[in-house]
Amino acid sequence: MFQGSLVALITPMRADGSIDEAALRRFVEWQIREGTEGLVPVGTTGESPTLSHDEHKRVVEIVIEAAAKRVPVIAGAGSNSTREAIELSQHAQKAGADGVLIVTPYYNKPTQEGLYLHYKAIAESIDIPVIIYNIPGRSVIDMSVETMARLAEIPNIVGVKDATANLTRPLHTRRAIGPQFCQLSGEDHTALAFLAAGGHGCISVTANVAPALCAAMHRAWREGRVSEAIAIQDRLLPLHDAMFAETSPGPVKYAASLLGFTAPHCRLPLAPVRESTAARIRAAMEELGLLALA
């Protein structure tokens, strides 16, 4: 259903912090031209925690309009309030999204039963596919394989974005649910290893600034050119390191600013990246020849 290199889109903004709608459209167009196989707006990388509901919905609408069905759009629609997640999911469906990405409820710390009931309620409120987003590092809670298997029995819960960086997880998920359950990595460093463990693709931060290379790595893997995929992975490693040298999406927002797509900083409480981090980002991008694209 969803595969390859998908991008966890930044939300381009002007220097005053307002959303730059024209830049967002240009950015979507560039991503598709460079080979990105799916767009995921208003996740954490898109600064969803600091967007108003109106801004969140507008970003989803713009990305869907700009993509024009050329690649799938999986709209971020998660919340720690089930009612709010349902509202955002229903909006995404009405706007024409191909699916929704629902993060495990942060701060509340629900039990596994609470997680099950949360996702069940959301899935039953819409008809489009639901991707579970399991990211214990941000949400504190970790959805068990057993809970995920229960949820996979609901017809439109079709996959997971796994940001645990635990490479035994896709093995156990595949065994418990089957190969049809779409497993997408949420961790750039281990994306290729995740594919080897039965994954189908990656929702990538790095693809914001290196979409062609990320897409080429996934194509090479699918086509059996394993050595080529590993070589691309090796080339991307310093950039992956730089993208997570500080809290994401601070570094990737700065990197995208070097390409002319956005102001270089996130909304508070995320601070501008340190100069040492900025220098590291520039060096990694220069090594890959990315700044020549600006």
DSSP string, 266-289: PSTTSPPPPHHHHHHHHHHHHHTT
Eight-state DSSP code of residue 15? T
CA distance 127 to 137: 29
Q: Of the residues 57, 116, 119, 133, which is catalytic? A: 133
Q: Could you say which DSSP state residue 293 is in?
A: G
Query: Rounded CA gap, 48 and 140, in Å?
Result: 18
Q: Which two tokens stand for residue 135?
A: 């990211």
**How many Cα atoms occupy the beta-carbon half-sphere of 115 within 13 Å?**
27
Are 115 and 147 a contacting pair, CB within 8 Å?
yes
**Cβ-based neighbour number of residue 135 at 10 Å:** 23
Q: Are 239 and 280 in contact (CB under 8 A)?
A: no
Reply yes or no on whether 69 is catalytic.
Answer: no
- CB-based contact 210:290 (threshold 8 Å): yes
Q: Edge-to-edge strands of the sheet including 38-40? A: 38-40, 4-8, 201-204, 182-185, 157-162, 130-134, 99-103, 74-76
User: Which residue(s) pair with 133 in the sheet?
Assistant: 103, 161
Selection from 218, 217, 288 nearest residue 255 by Cα: 288
Amino acid (1-letter code) at residue 249: P
Token digits for 252? Answer: 């990737």
Separation of alpha carbons 160 and 177, rounded Å: 11
Catalytic residue among 116, 161, 253, 254: 161
Residue 116 falls in the annotated catalytic set: no
Q: Looking at the annotation, which residues are catalytic? A: 133, 161
